[in-house]
Amino acid sequence: MTTDSNTPQNYILYRTRALGWQAVGYVIVAMQLTAEQATGAPAGFAYTLDTAGAYPDGSIYEDPVATAAASPAT
């Protein structure tokens, strides 16, 4: 199957900053969007592709880039 920017795919909207009881990485909502729709998240949030549907609403997404940046160099 080929996908393009007009093909809906699984995305999540998650927190990039903690707020109240919602930690960094807290998944606000899982949804189907096109690549074009999954842009322009509000401040403190980000979209990411979740092809496997592994992050339901309320779960915690660990951003691999942020996790690697926070890890000490070995």
Q: What is the pLDDT of residues 4-19, one digit of tens each?
A: 778 999 999 999 999 9
Report the SS3 class of residue 11: strand
Domain boundaries of the chain, sorted by first residue: 1-51
Rounded to two decimals, the pTM is 0.83
Q: Which residues pair with 60 in a beta bridge?
A: 26
The predicted pLDDT at position 68 comes to 66
Residue tagged 């942020």 (tokens): 66
Query: Which positions of the chain have pLDDT values less than 70?
Result: 1-3, 66-74
How many Cα atoms sit within 13 Å of 64 on the Cβ side? 2
